[in-house]
Amino acid sequence: MKNLVFINGTMGVGKTTTGKELQKILPNCVFLDGDWCWDMSPFIVTDETKKMVIDNISYLLNNFILCSEYENIIFCWVMHEQNILDDVLSRLNKNDCKLYKFSIVCSEQSLIARITKDINQGIRKKDVIERSVSRLKKYSEMDTEKIDVSEISAKNTAEIIYRHIIQQP
């Protein structure tokens, strides 16, 4: 039985860093960031590009599931609406997988501080703050386990997820 770990959260909350930390502690593990599946310039969001990114993600995740070398598959992406998460899941061959779904959330103040740090390092642009903050509340409505990261590091978040996985039968 493989572990399929979905991590969502708004932009700048720490999904990618958490996923990379979790990858370090789970054995036989592969990590996919959904953003890598449409890293384009210019960044264009249309029905066509949205369909393409879901197809890319589904293809990669299904191949990871089929590969006998991996027992742990981590996927992170914004997925700010339940229908996006459900769409990705509906395309996967999950028969031999134990599914874990986590939403990483934090206070608005913590989110702004995290994004501001990224802006100062040249990782993000200032317009991300408003878009990210506006999506923050959407995660409380989703069918996921919530982890508040306002006061903890990505490494601590990964350890919380790890404990959930190893404690399951």
What CATH number has the domain bearing residue 66? 3.40.50.300
Q: Give the mean pLDDT of 13-30.
A: 97
Q: What is the pLDDT of residue 38?
A: 86
- For the stretch 53-85, pLDDT in tens is 999 999 999 999 999 999 999 999 999 999 999
Cβ burial of 168 (10 Å; 0-12, 13-18, 19+) is exposed
Percent of the chain with pLDDT over 90: 91
Say what the pTM is: 0.94
Compute the distance between CA of residue 125 and CA of residue 115 in angstroms, rounded to an integer: 9
For the segment 84-113, what is each residue's pLDDT rounded down to a tens digit?
999 999 999 999 999 999 999 999 999 999
Helix axes 128-136, 108-120, angle to 10 degrees: 160
Name the residue among 88, 87, 85, 80 with its Cα closest to residue 61: 88
Number of domains in the chain: 1
Provide CB contacts within 8 A for 97, sequence distance 6+: 1, 2, 3, 4, 65, 73
Measure the CA–CA gap between 90 and 40, rounded to whole angstroms.
Answer: 26
Domain range for 62 is 2-167
